[in-house]
Each structure stands twice: as structure tokens, then as C-alpha cells.
Amino acid sequence: MYPRPPRPRTSMPEETPLERERRGKVARWRADGREPYPWEFPGRVDTAVVRAACAGLAPGADDPARSFRVGGRLRIVRQHGRTAFADLEDLAGPLQLILRVDELGESAYRSWLADLDPGDILGADGSPALSRRGEPSLLVRSLTLLAKAITPPPEKFHGLQDVEERLRRRYVDLLSSEAVRRRFRVRSLLLRAIREHFDAAGFLEVETPVLERVASGAAAQPFVTRSNYLDAEVQLRIAEELPLKRLLVGGLERVYEIGKVFRNEDLDSIHAPEFTELEAYWAYADYHDMRRFLEGLYERLAARTVELLPDDPEVARAAGRFRPPFATLDFVESLEARSGIPDILGKSREELRALARAAGSTVPDGSSTGTFLDKLFEHYVEPSIDRVTFVVDFPTATTPLAKRHRAKPGRVERFEVFAPGMELANAYTELTDPDEQEERFRSQLGERGDDRYAYDADFVEALRYGLPPTTGIGFGIDRLVMALLGLSSIKDAILFPPVRER
RNA sequence: GGGCCCGUAGCUCAGCCCGGUAGAGCAGGCGGCUCUUAACCGCAAGGUCAGGGGUUCGAAUCCCCUCGGGCCCGCCA
């Protein structure tokens, strides 16, 4: 039932001549009693400290009274006989090292230049100096090899261009591209800003199980595995919704979770089989409150993004979309207006199926009413969305976990946020009536062949204890990062996107 | 799942249409140069042309299949 997985690759690729050359250097190093992979390098400062210390020096001058130790990756060596320039790079940026026979001594100078290669991790001690051309530098007094690179880094100017290699070996992509390092650093800092926003509003960050007996809370194919403890099949979660709402029944009032969810479907530019989802549930509030809260978050993230990447016009354009005021579209009104179809809510499932077919949808005949409505919206309205837009008040059939609209019959209180080309967030006033919840689950199941949402009897039972009026939201962090940075592929927002065995 | 495109040295790329001994730059090796910024100059070396099959006197090049990747479409709240 569960075939043994293929073993990960354990054999190394054959050694290249370049690698043989570098191994020879390691061997020489060891033969001299020196350690090419030492244990520590205390007292290091980052390169920005040295660059700052160069301020005020005259071109060609150095300051022997001050001394610094730096460490990082060696990128390029420019040799000029008895002087050489080496570019060292750490997370703070690049720093030029000046190596001189006069400082290092003839034999040390020669042997260092013979043994160093681009890609090596190198430590250096020396004094701040400005080159004659005015480049902030470290005039080196001594060097320490911190890790010999056996495999050479990609070409110094073009870096790693092959998209496949960049994804398979993200570490090479990172080490050869400052822009890639910066992008993932920004993702991390944006995630921190999101946490700050929720924390400041009194939300509690919680964790709920990834392994569930039946994955629920959304419509998606689950990944299936096995638990020895339960002696049963388990599924990886496809949403966080139902466990989080149980926590509000338990009185936690405001909770959020940031974690991976798993949907066993194809990878494309806006879908990944495992992605980072944030879901938040807020008791004693409705979807209007949630919209205001989300707008505040967007405004904060837009500002933070531009602050982190001030010189990128593409980022400025993308992040600029997340400043209020935001557009609003009523689901039913906009669909009726764009399609010319009257009385959408009055249509039967069969009529909607025919309309969806006419609009080019190929979903199965047995799909639910909600699916056909989604397809119609996707066809008639979505392509025209050219800014961050709140689509509001969906037909009840599209959304089994949302509360019916207090004023619009046939609708639920729900909004989805769309950016051009993708859906960004989904929120609603939560359905809290246990009997209605049970009825909605059953009517979904009642539609022929539709198993979009697993019936979760335990969840209905939880609602019977009483869930306060509540609003909830879910959004994918990866897509939000894409939208804020103007990335066109979700793989550019994920450090290690899935790749097939080669 | 369907269509189109791509895979040549460690890296970045020519060569493919129109079949005739596999090229360059970077990196690495050897030599030169005490202020360069992708340093520069000289010399030598480096290849399973993704893999397999076919056509041909001869295939990186033309044809078929497979693998991997990209884009678009379909599927996927």
C-alpha cells in the first residue's frame, strides 16, 4: 500500500579536474600541519564595520592604529604581482582586501595566492584603508582559511542563470547572488512584521496538528501517509481552519497560526504543493472588522517592503498597490454586470453548469453549484481585476463554513482579496450555528459526486458548545510575498521549491 | 494531461536552419606585472554536445522515444 520510497542519492558526482586541483591544495595545507576547516574564528566584525571605519581616510591611506577581523566568502582575486586585491563578501556586503608583499612577507604572500580560490571561506585581520581609487578596503596583515571550497562557484559576472540549477541547488543561487539573498531576507522580515501586527492586536500564536485523520477545511487532494501509533492512515492538513475555530470555542478568543499546509496538486507559477498559510480567528468581531484589520496590515507591509528595498522600481510599483483605498466588487453584481446573465442566484445547478460550459469551463458535470459559480466569476470578472480588490458577499453555495449574510439573501458574509493574476486572501464571518453547519455539510455532500468538504462531525459537536460571533481569515505567505515584491513565480518566493529526481 | 520552447567545458554562451575533425569568455594551471574593480598580457590544458534509438559514407546539427526544466492552457477553495 505504501511502497518504499526511492533512496536519496548517496553517491557523489565524479570529481572534475577543477575539484582535483582544489583537493590538492587541501592536501598541501594538511601536509603543512594547517587545518583547512578550523573550528572557530572569534572576534569577527561584519564588513560594514570596516567600510564605515574607512570614512575620513584619504585615498591611498590606511589607519594602522585600528585593527579589524572579518570573515566571508572570497569572490575574486585581482593579482598585480606584488600587490593583490581580493573581494570578500559576507551578509553585510562586499569588502576589498588589499594583500601586499610588504605586509605579509614574500613567502606567505606567494603561498596564499597559490592556495586561494574563488569560493573559499576566508578570514582576514588588518587595518582600514582606502585604495588609491578610493575603495574602502582592509589592508591585510594576516589571513586564515576558514573553509576550503572544493567545488568552484558560478561565473563571477553572470552568476548562476540556469533556472533548474538555481532551484535544485538554492544554496548556490544564494551564494552567487546578493539579490536572491536580499529577497529571502525580506521575506523573513515581512513575516516578522506580520507577526508583530497580529501580536499587537492581542492575537495568540498557536500550533495545530499537521497530521489529521481526515484533512478538512478546504477542497483539495491531501497527501496520505501512515501513523504507526494510530495504526491507521493519516493525511497532511490542507487548511488550519477547523482546529483553530475549536480553540475559540475553548475561549482563546484571538488566535493565529502560521504553518505549512499541503495540497497534493500540480506546481505552477502560483501554486505549490506545500506552502505557508496564515489563518487567524477573531471572536466578537465580523468580516468588516477583519477587512479593516487586513487593510492595516497591507499598509504596514507595503511601507516595510519599500523601506527594505528602496531602490527597486518594480518593488515600489508592486508594493504601492497595497496602499488604501482598495477597490471593492460585489460578487453577484459584478458577475451579472460583466456576463450579462440576470438573476444569477435564481439559477439551478443545471442552468449554472450550462452557463459555465458556455464560458469554456471543463469542470466535471457532477461539480457543485458553488464550483460553477466560481468558474463563472473566474471567467467573466477575474481577468479584469487590475488592482488589489476586495470581492465581497459570495453566494452561499460557494462557501460552506461562512455565516449567511445579514442583509443579502442567498449570500454569505465573505470577502476574497484579489491581486492581478491571483487570489491573495479569503475571509468571512464564521458560521457559528451548529445545526446550520451540519445542514451545509450535508447539502454539499448531497450534490451528486461532490466531496469538496469532508463532513466533520466532531467540528459540528464543538460548535454545539457555543462559538462566539467570529471572523476568520486565511492567506498564503508565499503569494503575499510575490505580490509585494512583484515576483511572477511562486518558486521565487520559496527557498526550496519541490523538484523532481533527475 | 495538451501545446510550444530549452538542455553543448565547473559557470555564461556561440555552433544547429544549410550534416563534414566541438569554439569563445570566466574560473582553474604555468609565466609576467606593487592600486585593481568582470584588472590586464602571454602560453598550455579542459567535452558522455541530457540519455537512448534511427537515417546517413559521416550527426551537437535531421527524425523518433525517454528524462529534466521553462512558458501557456487544462485541473486544483
Q: Measured in whole angstroms, how far is the alpha carbon of residue A33 from the centre of its chain?
A: 45
Instruction: Please tell me the predicted confidence (pLDDT) of residue A365.
Output: 81
Residue A265's pLDDT band (cuts 50, 70, 90):
confident
A299, containing H or E segment = helix A287-308
Mean pLDDT of chain A: 91
Single-letter amino acid code for the residue at A62: D
Cα three-residue angle A486-A298-A397, rounded to 5 degrees:
95
Cα three-residue angle A394-A474-A335, rounded to 5 degrees:
20
What mean pLDDT comes out for the span A460-469? 96
- pLDDT digits over A387-442, tens only? 999 999 999 988 888 999 999 999 999 999 999 889 999 999 999 999 999 988 87
CA of A75 to C1' of B26 (A): 13
Residues 158-217 of A with CB under 7 A from strand B: 158-165, 167
| C-alpha distances in Å from residue A19, one per residue of A13, A86, A156, A173 | 11, 21, 17, 19
Q: Whose CA is nearest the C1' atom of nucleotide B45?
A: A17
Q: Which three cell numbers stand for residue A169?
A: 541547488
As for the ipTM of the complex, it is: 0.90
Beta bridge partners of A356: none
**Which residues are CB-contacts of A110 (< 8 A; sequence separation ≥ 6)?**
none
- pLDDT digits over A155-209, tens only? 888 899 999 999 999 999 999 999 999 999 999 999 999 999 999 999 999 999 9
Q: Which three cell numbers stand for residue A68?
A: 579589524
| C-alpha distances in Å from residue A112, one per residue of A80, A125, A248, A273 | 14, 14, 64, 48
Pairing of strands A93-100, A136-147: parallel
Instruction: Please tell me the predicted confidence (pLDDT) of residue A3.
Output: 41
Cα three-residue angle A405-A411-A417, rounded to 5 degrees:
90
Residues 332-361 of A with CB under 7 A from strand B: 360-361
CA of A346 to C1' of B11 (A): 62
Could you identify the residue written with the cell 451528486? A448
Between A152 and A14, the more confident residue is: A152
Cα three-residue angle A423-A424-A427, rounded to 5 degrees:
100
Residue A446's pLDDT band (cuts 50, 70, 90):
low
Instruction: Please tell me the predicted confidence (pLDDT) of residue A449.
Output: 43
CA of A105 to C1' of B31 (A): 21
Q: Which three cell numbers stand for residue A196?
A: 508583530
Q: Considering only CA atoms, which of A305, A248, A320 is closest in space to residue A279?
A: A248
Query: Lowest mean pLDDT: which of A29-38, A77-86, A451-460?
Result: A451-460
Instruction: Please tell me the predicted confidence (pLDDT) of residue A461.
Output: 93
CA of A11 to C1' of B54 (A): 33
- Supply the DSSP string of A426-452, one letter for each residue: EEEEBP--HHHHHHHHHHHHHSTT--S
Q: Considering only CA atoms, which of A301, A47, A311 is closest in space to residue A189?
A: A301
Q: Residue A96 burial by CB count (10 A; 0-12/13-18/19+): exposed, middle or buried? A: buried
Residues A161, A172: Cα–Cα separation, whole Å: 11
Q: Assess whether A222 (CB) lies less than 7 A from strand B.
A: no
CA of A363 to C1' of B2 (A): 16
Q: Assess whether A61 (CB) lies less than 7 A from strand B.
A: no
Residue A6's pLDDT band (cuts 50, 70, 90):
very low
What mean pLDDT comes out for the span A336-353? 92
- pLDDT digits over A20-60, tens only? 889 999 998 899 889 999 999 999 999 999 999 999 999 99
Q: Please give the model's pTM, rounded to 2 decimal places.
A: 0.92
Q: Whose CA is nearest the C1' atom of nucleotide B70?
A: A163
Instruction: Please tell me the predicted confidence (pLDDT) of residue A338.
Output: 92
Contact status, residue A476 vs residue A276, Cβ threshold 8 Å = yes
Instruction: Please tell me the predicted confidence (pLDDT) of residue A290.
Output: 98
Strand B nucleotides, any atom under 7 Å from protein beta carbons: they are 1, 9-13, 25-30, 32-40, 46, 67-77
